């Protein structure tokens, strides 16, 4: 049980029992991945709905890549339970994949990591050296600072009863090419022997590189800066998408031209960023920098640009409606897509929500159609359209999410059912010239009006 000198050998041959605490977007595919790799798996979640669905072989997340791959009920080596008391004593390694959101005032909310840690440590077999690995995204210092005091308070000892490590999850939901079994992993641990042992374990999960990178904080920081970098890169093109239309230049033309240079990195502007990572993780880094008295100015500025993008787009849409002669208070806008990203049914932190709210505050009526979501995923101020073929009488259609279903609607049919045939491409993926040839008045983020 737990770490022993033959751990690496057992890991390489799949003879370990792996616990996964939190069976959401990250935890469920991770549990399935370890099961597929031959390990005994104990999956635990506090949500009874999640447990019941998984036990029926149903996917409780909006990630379509998980459909049809959940082991069938009763499968060998596959144990799903809401009882952490039952699971923890059976495991050699426990992976914690719980949420790390921000509070309303944009501060890191570490309560899930803390609570999950406590329930794991309370149920450990003494002297088992069970390895507890945090996979949730955090800022450097969280694993040790949050868990060490709990371990000590329970009278447990690292190196005797428990070992702790950090291995961030980097897979991309809705993107089969970057699933849990095909992304590189980094492992942080203050004990190099444990870190190197975990390399053997994760090497059986993924076909990509697995590396022990040193202390916990290195791996924690690596994960958070990956998402900080993405937020900054997207913020740059979003800022350019605000500047260039004022110069009567389409930002996409500029980006395509610049991208002919070998070292230019091409990003695409949009109505805003969403999900559990990009709009959240930078606040973890901002907080940590503030703790040590260093201003994270660039990271904060990028956050501001991306967070205000929906407001900026709402202003443009309002101008377009005004110019089209739509009387104040009677504008009707249809959102194509609501999820924060294409092909995934995930409304968390979606920029659609602040965009809809900003339009609602300007007395524009918002209806949304997203075939990946259910009615209850939409806020009460937004009407949910069930069938795109029943869309009628709108003044403007906004492409919010580049789901294939949204791109391939019958544009020729819809143009004739609009009150005003205006389209706004919030993702820069539509063929605007083609739409114009069908009779649409086409606008897009970063395009001059
Ligand atoms: N979603 C992504 O694309 C992604 C990618 C990489 C990393 N991450 C990170 O992974 C972590 C998890 O994200 P997610 O998207 O899977 O979240 P999620 O909300 O989809 O899933 C978390 C699950 O944990 C469960 N849970 C909460 N507290 C628990 C507890 N004490 N015991 C047992 N279960 C508990 C919840 O019920 C939920 O099912 C976050 O830190 C996130 O930043 C997410």
The whole-angstrom separation of Cα 449 and Cα 78 is: 56
Q: 221: Cβ–Cβ under 8 A, 6 or more apart, which residues? A: 139, 140
223 in a structural domain: no
329 and 209, same domain (yes or no): no
99 in a structural domain: yes
Atom from ligand 1 closest to the CA of residue 168: 7
- Contact status, residue 41 vs residue 94, Cβ threshold 8 Å: no
Q: What is the DSSP string of 174-188?
A: T-GGGSTTSS-EEEE
pLDDT tens sequence across 237-265:
999 999 999 999 999 999 999 999 999 99
HSE-up of residue 294 (Cα within 13 Å, Cβ side): 8
Alpha-carbon torsion, ordered 382, 441, 414, 316, to 10 deg: -10
Structural domain range at position 83: 7-218
State which of 218, 236, 257 marks the end of a domain: 218
179 and 41, same domain (yes or no): yes
Q: Which residue has the tokens 């209806």?
A: 367
Which entry of 91, 167, 189, 277 is annotated as an active-site residue?
277
State which of 196, 218, 240 marks the end of a domain: 218
18 in a structural domain: yes
Is residue 42 within 6 Å of ligand 1 at its C-beta?
no
Test site for ligand 1: of 20, 45, 118, most ligand atoms within 8 A of the Cβ: 45
- Contact status, residue 230 vs residue 196, Cβ threshold 8 Å: no
pLDDT tens sequence across 279-329:
999 999 999 999 999 999 999 999 999 999 999 999 999 999 999 999 988
80 and 182, same domain (yes or no): yes
257 in a structural domain: no
Is residue 50 within 6 Å of ligand 1 at its C-beta?
yes
192 in a structural domain: yes
How far is ligand 1, taken at its centre, from the CA of residue 377, in Å? 18
- Residue 220 binned pLDDT confidence (cut-offs 50, 70, 90): very high
The whole-angstrom separation of Cα 142 and Cα 120 is: 16
The whole-angstrom separation of Cα 169 and Cα 227 is: 12
pLDDT tens sequence across 160-190:
999 999 999 999 888 888 989 999 999 999 9
Which residue CA neighbors atom 13 of ligand 1 most closely? 99
248 in a structural domain: no
Pairing of strands 40-44, 93-96: unpaired
62 and 205, same domain (yes or no): yes
State which of 218, 235, 269 marks the end of a domain: 218
77 and 212, same domain (yes or no): yes
243 in a structural domain: no
336 and 210, same domain (yes or no): no
Which residue CA neighbors atom 10 of ligand 1 most closely? 136
Which residue CA neighbors atom 25 of ligand 1 most closely? 22
User: Looking at the DSSP assignment, which residues form a beta bridge with residue 365?
Assistant: 332
The whole-angstrom separation of Cα 60 and Cα 50 is: 6
How far is ligand 1, taken at its centre, from the CA of residue 128, in Å? 26
Active site residue 277: yes
- The CATH number that applies at residue 80 is 3.40.50.720
Atom from ligand 1 closest to the CA of residue 135: 10
45 and 161, same domain (yes or no): yes
Q: For residue 274, give Cα distances in angstroms to 106, 185, 222, 307.
A: 14, 24, 20, 9
The predicted model scores a pTM of: 0.94
22 in a structural domain: yes
Q: How many domains does the chain have?
A: 2
């Amino acid at each position: 049980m737990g770490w022993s000198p033959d751990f690496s050998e057992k890991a390489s041959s799949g003879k370990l029992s792996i616990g996964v605490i939190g069976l959401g977007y990250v935890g469920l595919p991770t549990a399935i991945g370890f099961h597929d790799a031959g390990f005994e798996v104990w999956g635990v979640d506090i949500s009874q709905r999640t447990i019941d669905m998984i036990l029926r072989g149903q996917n409780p997340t909006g990630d379509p890549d998980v459909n049809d791959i959940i082991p069938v009920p009763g499968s060998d080596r596959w144990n799903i339970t809401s009882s952490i008391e039952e699971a923890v004593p059976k495991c050699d390694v426990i992976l914690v994949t719980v949420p790390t959101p921000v509070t309303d005032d944009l501060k890191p909310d570490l309560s899930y990591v803390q609570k999950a840690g406590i329930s794991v440590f309370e149920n450990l077999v003494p002297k088992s050296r069970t390895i507890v690995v945090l996979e949730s995204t955090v800022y450097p210092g969280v694993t040790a600072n949050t868990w060490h005091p709990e371990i000590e308070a329970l009278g447990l000892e690292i190196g005797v009863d428990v070992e702790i490590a950090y291995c961030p999850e980097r897979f991309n939901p809705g993107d089969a090419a970057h699933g849990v079994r095909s992304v590189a992993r980094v492992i942080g641990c203050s004990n190099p022997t444990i870190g190197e042992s975990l390399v053997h374990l994760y090497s059986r999960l993924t076909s990509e590189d697995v590396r022990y990178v040193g202390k916990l904080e290195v791996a924690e920081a690596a994960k958070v800066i990956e998402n900080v970098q993405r937020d900054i890169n997207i913020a740059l093109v979003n800022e350019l998408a605000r500047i260039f239309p004022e110069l009567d230049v389409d930002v996409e033309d500029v980006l395509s031209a610049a991208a002919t240079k070998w070292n230019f990195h091409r990003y695409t502007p949009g109505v805003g960023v969403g999900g559990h990572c990009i709009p959240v993780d930078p606040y973890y880094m901002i907080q940590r920098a503030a703790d040590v008295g260093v201003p994270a100015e660039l990271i904060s500025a990028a956050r501001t640009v991306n967070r205000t993008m929906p407001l900026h787009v709402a202003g443009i849409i309002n101008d377009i409606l005004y110019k089209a002669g739509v009387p104040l208070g009677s504008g009707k806008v249809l959102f194509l897509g609501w999820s924060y990203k294409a092909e995934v049914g995930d409304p968390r932190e979606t920029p659609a929500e602040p965009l809809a709210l900003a339009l609602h505050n300007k007395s524009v009526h918002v209806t949304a159609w997203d075939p990946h979501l259910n009615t209850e995923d939409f806020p009460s101020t937004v009407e949910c359209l069930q069938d795109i073929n029943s869309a009628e009488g709108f003044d403007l259609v906004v492409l919010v999410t580049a789901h294939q279903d949204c791109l391939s609607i019958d544009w020729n049919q819809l143009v004739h059912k609009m009150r005003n045939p205006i389209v706004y491409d919030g993702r820069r993926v539509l063929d605007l010239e083609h739409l114009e040839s069908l009779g649409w008045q086409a606008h897009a983020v970063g395009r001059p009006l």
